[in-house]
């Protein structure tokens, strides 16, 4: 899909801002730039907008409310309900690009970004030998970019089926089978519940670090509202408030292998670990439908070796072990990433050694990714427009 509507608005001689990625972050930035009179061209390696959302598992819904998940300039339709499904998110992103007449070029993969020879702009190296010069670049390739699988010893000798959570779609292929899910982030927890509801004969969930579990909604009050309200409060205070709320709303699951964490909820968030929003895990664990086991240490003689020495022989292992940002090849040479491969500057802040290079969508805030990307989009557009006026 290539949308060229903006060609009639902006002069072809205007050096555009290139936005890499047509997910929610990239689309929001492109619109916000357009609204400020700045030409933005989105480069997307797949054939459609919202490619990562199209690949998510079938039952996925936003854990944030519809009203607080809309991108700038277009509300989400009321008919989508409070918790928007994966398919409706995709429909919304498609409509967003069409409604705002965004200039999107698909099937173009960007391999490297570097300073232009004159030092005034940016040179974008893309597939097909393309070299594109932009006045600024916004990197929005996504938080969940490349599946990450631990280097477990002996995994190649495992006799069952092995897949990363990114390849999981629904429980149908696992009906009647013994499945081990590794990782209790939101993805692992939800896949485990999906498997039990979809007819898996046994579901075990391997846990390394016990997470905080929060009800997605309590008496109609969304957890997202609390997350927004407490963001600027002292960490210790939020930890105490969260501890009190957990005792009231979440049962003690210590007997099932999930004791209450010793570290405060907001302290964990500051370290990059967000809580699990409950969409059925609590009941599944209490009822014994999801069994909590120790984390995976490796594989041996075709079996899975757990950290407590137990050996299990599931029919399938699903690794919900996260993703990497995979930004090293794109911008790693610019010294803009930290030791974990994350951008040092984010949103409207641009690296001192790489002025005009922006990043959006690389944090995992408890207040909601869509909400924060929408806010970042406006701030980035304001910063870019200001730089262009000065120039």
Q: How confident is the model at residue 8 (pLDDT cuts 50, 70, 90)?
A: very low
Q: Does the domain formed by 5-145+325-390 have CATH 3.50.50.60?
A: yes
- Distance in angstroms (rounded) separating the CA atoms of residues 17 and 56: 29
Q: How confident is the model at residue 11 (pLDDT cuts 50, 70, 90)?
A: very low
Q: How confident is the model at residue 391 (pLDDT cuts 50, 70, 90)?
A: low
Q: Is the pLDDT of residue 1 over 70?
A: no
Q: How confident is the model at residue 119 (pLDDT cuts 50, 70, 90)?
A: confident
What percent of the chain is helix, strand and coil (3-state, nearest 5)? 35, 25, 45
| Tens digit of each residue's pLDDT (9 = 90 or more) over 342-386 | 999 999 999 999 999 999 999 888 899 999 999 999 999 999 999
Calculate what percentage of the chain has a pLDDT beyond 90: 88
In the chain, where does the domain assigned CATH 3.50.50.60 lie?
5-145+325-390, 148-319
Q: Does the domain formed by 148-319 have CATH 3.50.50.60?
A: yes
Torsion of CA 239, 240, 242, 246, to 10 degrees: 130
Q: How confident is the model at residue 106 (pLDDT cuts 50, 70, 90)?
A: very high
Helix or strand holding residue 180 (H, E): strand 178-182
In contact, 359 and 346? CB cutoff 8 Å? yes
Residue 167 CA: distances (Å) to CA of 94, 163, 189: 23, 6, 16
- Distance in angstroms (rounded) separating the CA atoms of residues 177 and 201: 5
| Tens digit of each residue's pLDDT (9 = 90 or more) over 285-314 | 999 999 999 999 999 999 999 999 999 999
For residues 218-227, give the mean pLDDT. 93
Q: What Rg, from alpha-carbon coordinates, does the chain have?
A: 22
Residue 378 CA: distances (Å) to CA of 44, 232, 330, 358: 21, 20, 24, 13
- Distance in angstroms (rounded) separating the CA atoms of residues 357 and 380: 10
The rounded mean pLDDT for the chain is: 93
- Distance in angstroms (rounded) separating the CA atoms of residues 83 and 220: 12
Length of the chain: 391
């Amino acid at each position: 899909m290539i949308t060229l509507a903006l060609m009639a608005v902006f002069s072809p001689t205007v050096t555009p801002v290139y936005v890499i990625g047509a997910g929610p972050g990239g689309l929001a930035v492109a619109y916000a730039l357009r609204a400020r009179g700045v030409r933005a061209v989105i480069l997307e390696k797949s054939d459609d907008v919202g490619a990562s959302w199209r690949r998510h598992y079938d039952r996925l819904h936003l854990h944030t409310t519809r009203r607080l998940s809309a991108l700038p300039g277009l509300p989400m339709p009321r008919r989508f309900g409070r918790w928007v499904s994966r398919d409706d998110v995709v429909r919304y992103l498609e409509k967003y690009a069409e409604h705002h007449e965004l200039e999107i070029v698909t099937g173009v993969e960007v391999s490297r970004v570097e300073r232009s020879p004159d030092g005034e702009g940016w040179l974008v190296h893309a597939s097909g030998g393309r070299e594109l010069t932009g006045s600024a670049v916004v990197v929005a390739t996504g938080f969940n970019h490349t599946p990450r699988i631990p280097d477990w010893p002996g995994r190649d000798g495992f006799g069952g089926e092995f897949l990363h959570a990114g390849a999981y779609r629904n429980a149908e292929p696992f009906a009647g089978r013994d499945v081990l899910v590794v990782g209790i982030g939101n993805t692992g927890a939800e896949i485990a519940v999906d498997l039990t509801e979809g007819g898996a004969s046994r579901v075990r969930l391997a846990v390394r670090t016990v997470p905080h579990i929060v009800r997605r909604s309590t008496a109609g009050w969304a957890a997202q509202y609390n997350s927004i309200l407490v963001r600027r409060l002292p960490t210790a205070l939020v930890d105490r408030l969260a501890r009190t709320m957990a005792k009231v709303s979440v049962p003690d699951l210590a007997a099932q292998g999930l004791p209450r964490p010793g570290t405060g909820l907001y302290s964990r968030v500051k370290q990059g670990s967000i809580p699990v929003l409950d969409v059925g895990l609590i009941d599944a664990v209490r009822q014994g439908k999801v069994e909590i086991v120790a984390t995976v240490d490796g594989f041996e003689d075709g079996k899975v070796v757990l950290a407590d020495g137990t050996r299990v022989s599931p029919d399938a292992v699903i690794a919900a072990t996260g993703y990497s940002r995979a930004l090293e090849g794109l911008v790693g040479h610019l010294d803009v990433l930290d030791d974990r491969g994350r951008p040092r500057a984010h949103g409207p802040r641009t690296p001192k050694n790489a002025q005009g290079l922006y990043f959006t969508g690389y944090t995992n805030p408890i207040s909601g990714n869509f909400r924060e990307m929408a806010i970042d989009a406006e701030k980035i557009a304001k910063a870019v427009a200001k730089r262009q006026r000065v120039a």
